[in-house]
Chain A
Amino acid sequence: DIQMTQSPSTLSASVGDRVTITCRASQSISSWLAWYQQKPGKAPKLLIYKASNLDTGVPSRFNGGGSGTEFTLTISSLQPDDFATYYCQHFRYTFGQGTKLEIK
């Protein structure tokens, strides 16, 4: 089975910062990677699919990159609404363990 590992597990940042979350696959997954944002008590929200495609309505400050085994989610200028937990996911099945983005 393919394992997905995110880093860091927790990230402290300030409004306006540029932040990057990394997701590594245990073997090549081509571009079959999605990113989600989840806030407490809510369902996850799709941000990025197929590694770099922004879902409809997602702000352009979110950017996804990578292929094969290493992927990144970059938020170019953090907004107050962005503080949440982020998950990567390999094609339908395996989620990463999550990265909690906290206010510094």
Chain B
Amino acid sequence: QVQLVESGGGLVKPGGSLRLSCAASGFTFSDYYMSWIRQAPGKGLEWVSYISSSSSYTNYADSVKGRFTISRDNAKNSLYLQMNSLRAEDTAVYWCARELHTATTITGAFDMWGQGTMVTVSS
């Protein structure tokens, strides 16, 4: 079955850490760029971070730069997001998403999403 499944969310105190995981199945994970996107309660979508297929390139939203680290293990078909120094404003549903590419080009669009994992930062 072609799917992404996130895990690792939960309640954490401000300043704490959390590691999110995303397990991919049903497709060749190592062929795809992957991203994390989040949505705070009642708010819009915010891209968080991306990683290239071979981990050569990563990028982060300014709001998480220096605090979050994205990584992947292609042998385990898994994507990760290490979140440190968490703040109340990091409270959100976090999704991992696959970036669509055609035979000739990348697209910058996300054609597969997980079900999401909730992260709550509160004392």
Question: From DSSP, what is the main secondary structure of chain B's interface residues?
Answer: strand
Chain A residue numbers with a CB within 8 Å of B50 are 92
Interface string of B23-37 (1 = CB under 8 A from A): 000000000000100
- Would A46 and B45 count as touching, CB distance under 8 A? no
Tell me whether B115 is interfacial, beta carbon within 8 Å.
yes
> Digit string of A73-104 for contact with B (CB within 8 Å is 1, else 0)?
00000000000000101111111111000000
Known A46-B100, A95-B44, A97-B44; contact A89-B115, beta-carbon cutoff 8 A: no
Minimum C-beta distance from A53 to chain B (A): 8
Q: Decide: A46 near B47, CB < 8 A? Known: A55-B100, A92-B35, A92-B99.
A: no
Residue pair B108, A46 in contact (C-beta under 8 Å): no
Interface size of B as a range: 20 to 34
Distance between A61 CB and nearest chain B CB, rounded to angstroms: 19
Contact B108 A92, beta carbon cutoff 8 Å: yes
Which of B50, B110, B116 has the largest count of A CB atoms less than 10 A from its CB? B110
Given A43-B115, A46-B100, is A89 in contact with B44 using a C-beta cutoff of 8 Å?
Answer: no
- Which of A32, A50, A56, A92 is within 8 Å of B47, CB to CB? A92
| Interface size band for A | 20 to 34
What 1/0 flags go to A15-49 for Cβ under 8 Å of B? 00000000000000000101010100001111001
From A50, A53, A87, B45 is in contact (CB under 8 Å) with A87
Asked whether A34 and B107 contact (CB < 8 A) given A92-B99, A95-B47, the answer is yes
B80 located at the interface, meaning its Cβ lies under 8 Å from any Cβ of chain A in the complex: no
A44, B47: Cα distance in complex, Å: 12
When the two chains form their complex, are residues A49 and B47 in contact, meaning their CB atoms are under 8 A apart? no
Contacting pair A43 B44 (CB below 8 A):
no
Could you tell me if A46 and B110 are in contact, using CB atoms closer than 8 angstroms? Answer: yes
Q: Which residues of B contact A91 (CB under 8 A)?
A: 108
Contact partner of A34 among B44, B108, B116, CB < 8 A? B108
Looking at the assembled complex, report how far the CB atom of A48 sits from the nearest CB atom of chain B, in whole angstroms.
8
